[in-house]
Amino acid sequence: MRKQFICGNWKMFKDLVETAELINGLKTEVSSLNPKVTVAVCPPFTSLAIAANLLKDSTIRIGAQNMSPHDEGACTGEISWRMLKSVGCEYVILGHSERRQFFGETNELINEKAKKALANGLKPIVCVGETLDQREKGVTTQIITTQIKGVLDGIGSSDLGNVTIAYEPVWAIGTGKNATPLQAQEVHQGIRKLIGQLYNWSVAESIVIQYGGSVKPENAKDLLAQDDIDGALVGGACLKPDSFLAIISAAKS
Ligand code: PGA
């Protein structure tokens, strides 16, 4: 059975003081909740080191929100896999729709980053999702298929066990309007089927597919109860201990 994976994407929130407050609010509670669920937080780069330090003896893992496709060099403002590993990151979110929309990230670039992460022992959480316009035009399946094929291009089945896919419909992110459990399940099932075609059924059965987009305590249980939804990538609701903890405890175990 797939292990549920709940990950908090802090986006561009929390300075150092606020980081310590949030981590301290989570870490004592999280061990008593749903021990069968993997929990990670992805603070901004500036908070990674302090978060990792505070979480030294905790089961909560750490991830970053982005990573350069390059090892090092004259890339002002970029952060490499080596830097992320040196502060204790295990995961990295790649291809979030905000990076695609506002920073021009393409499937090719996200693929390059995913391969770089995997080659260097970081586990990518690769995001895919359609816009409202695409959903209304009825092309969700085509969009998701193109994104999945693009971001996983050249990644072998032995590496896929270290990849998490996050299905995040763009129209549901930060809008308060989540996909219904059935809408999400339909896409998740389609993604798993596609992975089965691209790889094989045992790889498809074991890959973790998170749902993201306005996950909150009120809707988490119904979303996470779906057969092919294996966890959540949580934005707004991960910024307060109570709501993030409530989502963790809603995960099926
Ligand atoms: P949200 O964000 O939960 O605030 O909708 C999710 C995400 O962007 O990962």
Annotate 97-148 with DSSP letters as a single string.
HHHHHHH---HHHHHHHHHHHHHTT-EEEEEE---HHHHHTT-HHHHHHHHH
Helix axis angle, 217-224 relative to 241-250, nearest 10°?
20
Report the percentage of the chain scoring pLDDT > 90.
Answer: 93
**Average pLDDT in the 118-145 region?**
97
Q: What is the pLDDT of residues 28-65, one digit of tens each?
A: 888 777 788 999 999 999 999 999 999 998 999 999 99
User: Residue 159: its pLDDT value, please?
Assistant: 97
User: According to the model, what pLDDT value does residue 186 have?
Assistant: 98
Quick one: which atom of ligand 1 is closest to the CA of 97?
Answer: 8
Residues 6+ apart with CB under 8 A from 25: 240, 241
Lowest-pLDDT range of 35-39, 199-203, 205-209: 35-39
Residue 187's pLDDT is: 98
What atom in ligand 1 is closest to the CA of residue 9? Answer: 9
Ligand 1 pocket test, pick from 125, 168, 219, 244 with the greatest ligand atom count within 8 Å of Cβ, gives: 168
Where residue 123 falls (left for φ over 0; alpha for ψ -120 to 50; beta otherwise) is: beta
Q: Which ligand 1 atom lies nearest to the CA of residue 233? A: 9
Pick from 234, 240, 243 the residue to mutate for probing ligand 1's pocket: most ligand atoms within 8 Å of its CB.
Answer: 234
- Centre of ligand 1 to C-alpha 7, Å, is 10
* Of 186, 197, 68, the residue nearest 130 (C-alpha): 186
Nearest to 148 by CA among 204, 67, 201, 102: 204
What pLDDT score was predicted for residue 252? 84
pLDDT at 193: 98
Catalytic annotation on 168? Answer: yes
pLDDT of residue 36: 85
Q: Which amino acid is at 131?
A: T
Which range, of 33-37, 181-185, 249-253, averages the lowest pLDDT?
33-37
Residue range 164-186: mean pLDDT, rounded: 95
**Probe residue for ligand 1, chosen from 99, 219, 233, 244 as the CB with the greatest number of ligand atoms within 8 Å:** 233
Average pLDDT score, the chain: 96
Q: What is the largest CA-CA distance in the chain?
A: 49
Provide the residue ranges of all domains of the chain, joining segments of one domain with +: 4-250
4-250, which class in CATH? Answer: alpha beta
pLDDT at position 32: 79
pLDDT digits (tens, 9 = 90+) for 73-91: 999 999 999 999 999 999 9
Q: Ligand 1 centroid vs 216 CA: distance in angstroms?
A: 10
Residues with CB under 6 A from ligand 1: 9, 168, 173-174, 212-215, 233-237
Instruction: Tell me what pLDDT residue 31 has.
Output: 77
At residue 21, the pLDDT reads 98
Confidence at residue 9, expressed as pLDDT on a 0 to 100 scale: 98
Active site residue 96: yes
pLDDT of residue 30: 84
| 242 pLDDT more than 80 | yes
131 C-alpha to center of ligand 1: Å?
14
Average pLDDT over residues 101-115: 98
> Picking from 26-30, 74-78, 90-94, 111-115, which range would have the lowest pLDDT averaged per residue?
26-30
Picking from 3-12, 125-134, 151-160, 244-253, which range would have the lowest pLDDT averaged per residue? 244-253
Pick the catalytic residue: 105, 130, 168, 188? 168
Residue 18 has pLDDT above 80, yes or no: yes
Query: Of all atoms in ligand 1, which is nearest to the CA of residue 98?
Result: 8
- Residue 235: predicted pLDDT: 98
pLDDT at 1 over 90: no
